[in-house]
């Protein structure tokens, strides 16, 4: 009789453990789906902003240096889509990109 109770307790424990593990797995799957959705939204924001940035270059007829042109092409679309601007800034801040841009800037301006 004692053996049956132990077996029943063990079976109940294992069932609870399996149920808890399944719930954790479901939460993880929901989180992964959410992350995938966020990535799609993030990439969409970057693409939308870059498109607006490049279209601004086409309509900007004022003669300025490259820095002012780039600033204007980022600033004005950024007013309409601040989330896209922020996503684009974060997406472009890799170490390699920053080093490359700094080298181009320093070589071009002989600083």
Q: What is the per-residue pLDDT for 78?
A: 92
CA distances from 79 to 44, 85, 87, 89, 96 (A): 17, 9, 14, 14, 28
Segment 75-110, tens digit of pLDDT: 999 999 998 898 888 888 888 888 888 888 888 766
| Dist. CA 75–CA 101, nearest whole Å | 19
Above 90 in pLDDT, residue 62? no
Q: What is the per-residue pLDDT for 1?
A: 56
Dihedrals phi, psi of 109, to nearest 5 degrees? -105, 5
Above 90 in pLDDT, residue 17? no
- The model's confidence at residue 53, banded by pLDDT at 50, 70 and 90, is very high
CA distances from 42 to 12, 48, 70, 93 (A): 44, 10, 22, 15
């Amino acid at each position: 009789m004692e053996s049956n109770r132990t077996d029943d307790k063990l079976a109940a424990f294992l069932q609870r453990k399996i149920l808890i593990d399944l719930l954790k797995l479901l939460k993880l799957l929901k989180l992964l789906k959410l992350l995938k959705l966020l990535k799609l939204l993030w990439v969409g924001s970057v693409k939308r902003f870059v498109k607006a940035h490049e279209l601004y270059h086409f309509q900007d007829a004022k003669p300025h240096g490259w820095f002012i042109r780039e600033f204007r092409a980022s600033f004005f679309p950024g007013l309409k889509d601040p989330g896209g601007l922020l996503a684009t800034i974060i997406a472009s801040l890799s170490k390699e990109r920053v080093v490359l841009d700094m080298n181009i800037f320093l070589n071009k301006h002989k600083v």
